[in-house]
Structure 1
Amino acid sequence: MIMFNYLLICFIFGTTFLAIKIGVDAAAPPFFSAGLRFFIAGLILFLWMAAKNKVRFSLLLRKEMLLTGALLTFGTFSTLYWAEQFVSSGIAAVLSATGPIMIMLLQIIVLKQSSSTRSIVGCIIGFAGVILLLMPSLTVSANIWWVIGCIAILIGEFAYSSGALFSKSVIARFPESSPIALNAAQMMYGGLLLLVFSMCTERWHVSYLLEPRALGSLLYLIVIGSMVGHSLFYWLVAKTNPVFPSTWLYVSPLIALVIGAIFYEETITWVSMLGVVTIIAGTIVVNLDNLRQLMRRKSVAVGRSQKAQNASNV
Structure 2
Amino acid sequence: MILIGYVLMCLIFGTTFLAIKVGIDAGAPPLFSAGLRFFLAGLILFLWMAWKKGAEWSLLLKKEMVFTGMCLTFGTFSTLYWGEQYVTSGIAAVLSATGPIMILLLQILVLRKQASMKSIMGCIIGFIGVVILLLPNVSVHISMLWMLGCIVILIGEISYSMGALYSKHVIPRFSNNSSIALNAAQMMYGGILLLILSMITERVHMEGMLKLHAIFSLLYLIVFGSMLGHSLFYWLVAKTNPVFPSTWLYISPLIAMGLGFFLYHEAVSWASLLGVFVILIGIILVNMDTLQQFIHRTDPIFKNGGKHLKNQNP
Say whether the 8 Å CA contact 2:134–2:147 is kept in structure 1.
no
2:59 counterpart letter in structure 1: L
1:291 counterpart letter in structure 2: L
Aligned to 1:43: 43
Listed as ranges, the matches of 1:79-118 within 5 Å are: 79-118=79-118
Whole-Å separation in 2 of the counterparts to 1:290 and 1:82: 33
Mark the runs of 5 or more structure 1 residues left unpaired by the alignment.
304-314
State the SS of the aligned residue for 1:23: helix
Mark the runs of 5 or more structure 2 residues left unpaired by the alignment.
304-314
1:31 counterpart letter in structure 2: L
Deviation readout 1:115-134 (Å, 9 max, x if unpaired)? 22222323444565677689
Whole-Å separation in 2 of the counterparts to 1:204 and 1:166: 33
Whole-Å separation in 2 of the counterparts to 1:146 and 1:272: 14
2:189 counterpart letter in structure 1: Y
2:73 counterpart letter in structure 1: T
Question: How far off is 1:64 after superposition?
Answer: 0.4
Aligned to 1:151: 151
Question: How far off is 1:106 after superposition?
Answer: 0.8
Whole-Å separation in 2 of the counterparts to 1:18 and 1:159: 22
| Shift in CA distance, 10/113, structure 1 to aligned 2, threshold 3 Å | farther
Larger radius of gyration, structure 1 or 2?
1
1:65 counterpart letter in structure 2: M
Aligned to 2:242: 240
Aligned to 2:220: 220
Whole-Å separation in 1 of the counterparts to 2:279 and 2:150: 21
Query: Is 1:67 matched up with 2:67?
Result: yes
Aligned to 1:209: 209
Whole-Å separation in 2 of the counterparts to 1:87 and 1:196: 24
Aligned to 1:27: 27
| Aligned-residue identity in percent | 64
Deviation readout 1:188-216 (Å, 9 max, x if unpaired)? 00011111221222223333222111111
Say whether the 8 Å CA contact 2:83–2:149 is kept in structure 1.
yes
Question: How far off is 1:114 after superposition?
Answer: 1.9
| Shift in CA distance, 13/298, structure 1 to aligned 2, threshold 3 Å | farther
Aligned to 1:309: none
Whole-Å separation in 1 of the counterparts to 2:3 and 2:107: 24
Aligned to 1:258: 258
Whole-Å separation in 2 of the counterparts to 1:290 and 1:104: 12
- Superposition TM-score, scaled by structure 1 size: 0.80
Q: Which moved more, 1:113-122 or 1:283-292?
A: 283-292
Q: Paired residues, what number? A: 301
Q: CA RMSD in A?
A: 3.4
Whole-Å separation in 1 of the counterparts to 2:14 and 2:291: 22
Deviation readout 1:229-277 (Å, 9 max, x if unpaired)? 3345566788537xx8666444333112322454356787776776676
Aligned to 1:78: 78
- Superposition TM-score, scaled by structure 2 size: 0.80
Aligned to 1:141: 141
Say whether the 8 Å CA contact 2:45–2:227 is kept in structure 1.
yes
Question: How far off is 1:158 after superposition?
Answer: 1.2
Aligned to 2:310: none
| Shift in CA distance, 201/272, structure 1 to aligned 2, threshold 3 Å | closer
State the SS of the aligned residue for 1:24: helix
Q: Which moved more, 1:135-144 or 1:255-264?
A: 135-144
1:76 counterpart letter in structure 2: T
1:108 counterpart letter in structure 2: I
1:198 counterpart letter in structure 2: S
Whole-Å separation in 2 of the counterparts to 1:144 and 1:269: 18
